[in-house]
Structure 1
Amino acid sequence: MTVSTAGGRSASPAVREFRQDAKRAGTSGQLSHADRVALGKDARRVTPREAHAEFQPGPRDPVGLLLEQSKSRVPDLVPIRHGRMLVSAFTFYRGAALPMAADLATTPTSGLQAQLCGDAHLSNFGAYASPERELVFDVNDFDETLPGPFEWDVKRLAASLAVAGRDNGFGGKHRRRIVLAAVKAYRKAMRRFANQTYLEVWYTHLDIEEAIGQFRSQMKAKGFKATEKMLAKAHTRDSTQALRKLTTVVEGRRRIISDPPMVVPVEEVFPDVQASAAYEEIRTVLGKYRRTLQSDRRHMLEQFTLVQAARKVVGVGSVGTRAWIVLMDGGDGVEPVFLQAKEAQRSVLADYCGRSRYRNQGERVVAGQHLMQAESDIFLGWTHMPGPDGVDRDYYVRQLKDWKFSFPIEQTAPSGMDVYARICGQTLARAHARSGDRVALAAYLGGSDAFDQAIADFAETYADQNESDYAALKSAVEDGRARATTDI
């Protein structure tokens, strides 16, 4: 029996034959429902679902991969990235998307593709405000998005649950039950989507408050009240709250508070002359960015003027990439909007799934986000900006805060993690159903738990690998091969 392992690039015999027939016939190659079911079942014969339990780490240097990745980042911020990754095995996992991409490329693949998040660990899911001002839950990080084998996102999510469960002190049985809950939720949701029309799938979104209510009976009262409190707090996290937290008034003017190296205003990043030129460039870049928005949102943004910009350190894996916050105001300092312009580099999946169709990496991120998310930020767009070193860099832009929040993973009990895992699994399935062939995917996954059990096996095995890689970074810092700042 043949098992596909070429990073998802190979297709099953039925897929190849169909594509060849369609090409000869000069048609678009649209399959019937029955053919799509057959496609999924054929993929099982090429790569059995049980094969996804397999993982044999190849000869690769995780620290070397991280150091190579750091060469394109701000040198002074790279030690902060390493320091944040050293906090725990889970924070290391959050920053180690590249080593895992290299590992996933060695594993069996189904040949069934979808638009991937590329970094679908459980902290990259969260709640935010929809344009209709509802609190929705979705995947919320797309820095690594590319089309690829659907199971890579599932494995990244599943392994993150195993790693986080270990960090939280959960026993093996609890961890496995949590991982199985996530994968089962993914599989069952995909099978539901297979029976819906494409438009029904497209309009589906997850109302987080409604979802938590559905699982209320399975949550302890204390955990449910804590979750309700977090949801209520999320409604206060907007540009007004960011204004209070990040700015102050100096001589009658609103200014971003300097807190190096976390937040550094443009005036401190560059000398006076360069800062003035930088603001001229920022205005030009904002003009280019506006043109990537749909017309009504472009009109709305044109009502705001630039006040100040600053460099800001964000996340764990993203630390070192160039990220800017831009304070805009709609009138007399009382209508603030904080935008975040974040550098978009080449996806960690590109070496294994092929390069993006988009020349601008910011556009790659935005296109992937629009495809996977049910509802996206109204100011989501892209641009590029010349750097002081003469290198043009791609960026995507969005609001800094708009009811955004993530669950506190480190404080979550097994029962709460079980609920959260199911919500993440359902959400990932909906994201994949929008871009992949949901009928073929559902046929491949099937009605049994064969796929679930295999992914649960993989998750524990990969948690072992993650611990080994985490120890390798610790050793590299101790022997001076890598630098880390652990107090920021």
Structure 2
Amino acid sequence: MSTRPGSAPAASSAQSSGTADDSRAAGRALRDAVAFDAHGAWQPEPDRPDPVERVLAGNAGRQERLIPLRMAESPFAFLRGAATVMAWDLAKSPSIGHNVIIDGDAHINNFGLFHTPRQEVVFDLNDFDETLIGPWEWDLKRLTASINVAARENGVDAAGRDRAVRSSCAAYRAMMAQLAQMSPYDLWQMRSYGSAGRIDTPVKLDSEKKATIEKTVERAMKRTHATMLAKVAEPAGKGWRVKSDPPILTELDAAEKNHVVDGLKAYLQTIAGEWRMMLERYDVADVAHRVVGVGTRAYLVLMIGRAHGDPLFMQVKEGIVPAAAPFVPPLDEPYRHQGRRVVHGQRLMQSSSDALLGWTTISGRDFYVRQMKQIRGSIPLDWLHGATFDYYAWCLGLLLARAHARTGDAALIAGYCGNSDKLDAAYAMWAERYGAQTVADHAAFCAAISVGRVPTA
């Protein structure tokens, strides 16, 4: 999944062959080709597809009856599920033409707390279903649009929305400038810790911000495989089974369950040998279907340790073609397996990925596999108000810059972004305009449900 179309698959970056100073100069020169103001000048194209049709077409092949479950809840829920709508819009937006490995779905809720293999809690991007090679601007625009829409739902006024987006962009610019001066080795060692007593931030936290973060970390630390066992499983004879909880958790027939178990055997070959040996000390107790996202197939696998009877939950989730795939060059052959694409993108962008992250194929469909409780939680959006919201948006800008710098030319991006707040103002304008469009698109989606145009569960 190289960042250079047509090259051999690699985890290498797209760094310039010149010096960092050369890259910065090249970035500054690109301001003449793509002015900062151009990023804020978004408006619907005359031929913009109907958003409802885009959602329905983008979800063809998924479990369509599940699509409306979450998307109809609010404009933010619609934004989360309508990556295909936004991908079309982003493809029409200005870019300096520098590709990196992007998350593809870097909205505000796709950042969270999770455990590293060393059992430290870190804060980072945590969803990579849409990852691919594309313009860095696309991630920053999806992030800033989501900040605006989430702020709307929290009752934040236009001035507050503008301030939060500017905060995120300013952090992205500042962090990218810092990373441009850092060696690749040091960049790869960067972590954003969330453990109690290790809130690692470059600014001093006031009591309100610190309390919000510590409250989230405390809640996340309580979520373990053992606590999940008591919540979603029940004794069955001498073993355990997942409790049926429709429509979120439902039973599988024996044939489908066997297909999943067979897929796990192939998955084992995609993780490191020491972790493969560890997993071989667990047996599959049960497999259930679990609703996630907007209709992608996913399974919850309950495994029980042979010696100690300890639980281990795994998620087996279908890898789908990214929404932005039609607008970028095709990936190299190995990464056209959608599960492998997700895994490789996550390993490159995250500061410390799940050691059990791997991929497989089940009944001809691509899947990736990860720990269910390796991801521990995120800060609830309704906790975010005023300065706390601005601070959180600022943190997300930092994290996104670090993720992009791992596969892109940080000096070139930093050179383009510059030191002034002109780019921040442009993105704030973009986010306000796209936020209003999202509200309108959500209303159209709900209207389509009410007349039966969109099937419901």
Residue number in structure 2 paired with 1:107: 93
Residue number in structure 2 paired with 1:22: none
Q: 1:68 aligns with which of 44, 48, 57?
A: 57
Separation in structure 2 between the aligned mates of residue 299 and residue 484 of structure 1, nearest angstrom: 43
Once the two structures are superposed, residues 379-432 of structure 1 have per-residue CA deviations (whole angstroms, 9 ceiling, x without a partner) of: 00001110xxxxx11001000012510110023222221111111110000000
Separation in structure 2 between the aligned mates of residue 370 and residue 311 of structure 1, nearest angstrom: 26
Shift of 1:216: 5.8
Residue number in structure 1 paired with 2:76: 90
Aligned partner letter, 2:37: E
Alignment of 1:400-479 (within 5 A): 400-402=372-374, 404-479=376-451
Separation in structure 1 between the aligned mates of residue 204 and residue 306 of structure 2, nearest angstrom: 44
Matched, 1:37 2:27: no
Aligned CA-pair RMSD:
2.1
Residue number in structure 2 paired with 1:174: 160
Aligned partner letter, 2:346: Q
Separation in structure 2 between the aligned mates of residue 10 and residue 196 of structure 1, nearest angstrom: 22
Shift of 1:225: 3.0
Alignment of 1:54-453 (within 5 A): 54-58=41-45, 59-77=48-66, 81-209=67-195, 210-211=198-199, 217-218=205-206, 220=208, 224-266=210-252, 270=253, 275=254, 277-314=255-292, 318-331=293-306, 334-357=309-332, 358-386=335-363, 392-402=364-374, 404-453=376-425
Percent of aligned positions with the same letter in both sequences?
38
Shift of 1:473: 0.3
**5+ residue gaps, structure 2:** 8-14
Shift of 1:218: 3.8
Separation in structure 1 between the aligned mates of residue 451 and residue 203 of structure 2, nearest angstrom: 48
Residue number in structure 2 paired with 1:52: 39
Aligned partner letter, 1:395: F
Alignment of 1:8-47 (within 5 A): 30-47=17-34
Aligned length: 441
Separation in structure 1 between the aligned mates of residue 347 and residue 4 of structure 2, nearest angstrom: 26
Any conservation in 2 of the 1:216–1:224 contact (CA below 8 Å)? no
Separation in structure 1 between the aligned mates of residue 436 and residue 371 of structure 2, nearest angstrom: 37
Shift of 1:319: 2.6
Q: Select between 99-108 and 43-52 the one with higher mean Cα deviation.
A: 43-52
Q: Select between 211-220 and 334-343 the one with higher mean Cα deviation.
A: 211-220
Separation in structure 1 between the aligned mates of residue 299 and residue 307 of structure 2, nearest angstrom: 23
Any conservation in 1 of the 2:167–2:394 contact (CA below 8 Å)? yes
Separation in structure 2 between the aligned mates of residue 181 and residue 175 of structure 1, nearest angstrom: 10
Separation in structure 1 between the aligned mates of residue 232 and residue 447 of structure 2, nearest angstrom: 36
Separation in structure 2 between the aligned mates of residue 216 and residue 468 of structure 1, nearest angstrom: 39
Separation in structure 2 between the aligned mates of residue 195 and residue 182 of structure 1, nearest angstrom: 21
Classify the secondary structure of the residue corresponding to 1:159. helix
Any conservation in 2 of the 1:155–1:455 contact (CA below 8 Å)? yes
What TM-score, normalized by structure 1, do the two folds share? 0.86
Any conservation in 2 of the 1:254–1:333 contact (CA below 8 Å)? no
Any conservation in 2 of the 1:183–1:452 contact (CA below 8 Å)? yes
Larger of the two Rg values belongs to structure: 1
Any conservation in 2 of the 1:291–1:298 contact (CA below 8 Å)? yes
Shift of 1:96: 1.2
Classify the secondary structure of the residue corresponding to 2:406. helix
The structure-2 alpha-carbon separation of the partners of 1:224 and 1:202, relative to structure 1 and needing over 3 Å to count, comes to closer
Any conservation in 2 of the 1:237–1:402 contact (CA below 8 Å)? no
Classify the secondary structure of the residue corresponding to 1:208. coil
Shift of 1:198: 1.0
Separation in structure 2 between the aligned mates of residue 332 and residue 263 of structure 1, nearest angstrom: 28
Residue number in structure 1 paired with 2:11: none
Aligned partner letter, 2:242: I
